[in-house]
A and B are shown apart, each in its own frame.
Chain A
Amino acid sequence: AQSVTQLDSQVPVFEEAPVELRCNYSSSVSVYLFWYVQYPNQGLQLLLKYLSGSTLVKGINGFEAEFNKSQTSFHLRKPSVHISDTAEYFCAVTETGANNLFFGTGTRLTVIP
């Protein structure tokens, strides 16, 4: 069965500092991985996704993530955060042929001026 773990429920970070949001998954088959961002009272917006190929995936707003199959991880990183990055971030996984996404419980990123 699939599952997604986001160990950090809240991550405060100072403006212009780097940040890493952790995501680990479990699955017995090949997976596709996604990071979504949710701003207050809005829907989810796709940041980036990994389907195949290069394990380093670049997304919008300067974010990137690295797929590590041996560690079953897909951590999200940004070298320098802005105030506007304050939001909830969700990691999601789906398996080949599946009909839906499995989401983690989210990480609330707060950027401190």
Chain B
Amino acid sequence: NAGVMQNPRHLVRRRGQEARLRCSPMKGHSHVYWYRQLPEEGLKFMVYLQKENIIDESGMPKERFSAEFPKEGPSILRIQQVVRGDSAAYFCASSGQLPSTDTQYFGPGTRLTVL
């Protein structure tokens, strides 16, 4: 009974490169969330997706960041032209039902380092 899977676990990029983070939700879950954790801070919501739909992207930076959850395959968080300030841990979570009442299960995170 696999949990939420994220890869890669660690990602190093140079400034200006692209970063792609992948998330496979728990089996049977159709709701995916992305959060960012900056050093010494709590998690901050970025985006909430269901299959093929972005439901809420109120926490996403307006530029360079995008997310998708295609009909087949994992959810992808894409960061274009990374900058040092993008260095953080990015966590994906999934739930089976309504986000406000159903438990969100978290993956182990992807730690992005921008050189």
Contact = CB atoms under 8 A, between A and B. Distances in A.
B75 interface: no
A83 interface: no
B56 interface: yes
Interface stretch (A11-19, A61-69, A91-99): A91-99
A41 B111 CA distance: 9
Say which size band chain A's interface belongs to: 20 to 34
B111 to A, nearest CB: 8
Given A90-B43, A103-B42, A104-B42, A98 B91 contact: no
B103 A99 contact: no
Contact of B104 (A42, A51, A97, A101): A101
B35 to A, nearest CB: 8
Interface in A14-71: 32, 34, 36, 41-46, 49, 51
